[in-house]
A = this chain, B = another copy of it.
């Protein structure tokens, strides 16, 4: 006699994955939800640019982009909130209280809307610095440093301090359970620590963040996403 089984219809998900991008945390996110997915790999060129093919998937030509049952989803925060709403049936990543759910929603907006931009600006300034022709390397470097020091770097430090405080006395950003907030923040947080002027010395100012990074890096889904980047190393 066979036991009747409830079958939940799983969506067909394709991840359009670009190396060295935020697409990694979507892989981790899907792993935590226990959803099955296919990965379509794209690689950045020598100038760090995403390939043109990505524009066929979504006109902005960015990654991550998801296909969920044929529908194209873009914007990491939106994708995560969409998947949580529709496919986190057993509340693996959804916290129990409305207050904590609101907090997750806040971080999904905060990470991309406030935290990422100064970090991206620092990356762009660093890339530009490397490309400066020899004749103007010194002066050009000074100007780029001035932009970084006057705007982007202090912003990154402000965010690191803010997040360090927010982790005080708790294991994850929204209480003591992993949530989408931790996953979306993982990429810019790791990157920001590397972008400090003296990363080795300054990272010590963020013990809560370091303990949290250590905690998340032990999760199977996180490791799986990291493996993806090792398999497709950067060419730039």
Contacts and interface: CB of A to CB of B under 8 A. Distances in A.
Contacts of A161: 59
A114 B114 CA distance: 11
Given A117-B120, A128-B143, 20 more contacts: A60-B158, A60-B159, A74-B110, A77-B77, A78-B105, A78-B106, A78-B108, A109-B109, A112-B113, A113-B113, A113-B116, A117-B117, A117-B121, A124-B152, A125-B147, A128-B146, A139-B140, A140-B143, A143-B143, A143-B144
9 closest A-B pairs by CB:
A112-B113, A117-B117, A78-B109, A75-B109, A77-B109, A78-B106, A140-B143, A75-B110, A59-B162
A106 B151 contact: no
Interface in A185-200: none
A213 B109 CA distance: 25
Interface string A153-177: 0000011011001000000000000
Interface of A: 59-62, 73-78, 81-82, 102, 105-106, 108-110, 112-114, 116-117, 120-121, 124-125, 128, 132, 136, 139-140, 143-144, 146-147, 150-152, 158-159, 161-162, 165
Contacts of A159: 60
Contacts of A62: 114
Given A112-B109, A136-B139, A139-B139, A165 B75 contact: no
27 contacts: A59-B162, A59-B165, A60-B158, A73-B106, A74-B106, A75-B110, A75-B113, A75-B114, A76-B109, A77-B109, A78-B106, A78-B109, A81-B109, A82-B102, A109-B113, A113-B113, A113-B116, A116-B117, A117-B120, A121-B121, A125-B147, A128-B146, A128-B150, A136-B139, A139-B140, A140-B143, A143-B143
A59 B114 CA distance: 13
A118 to B, nearest CB: 9
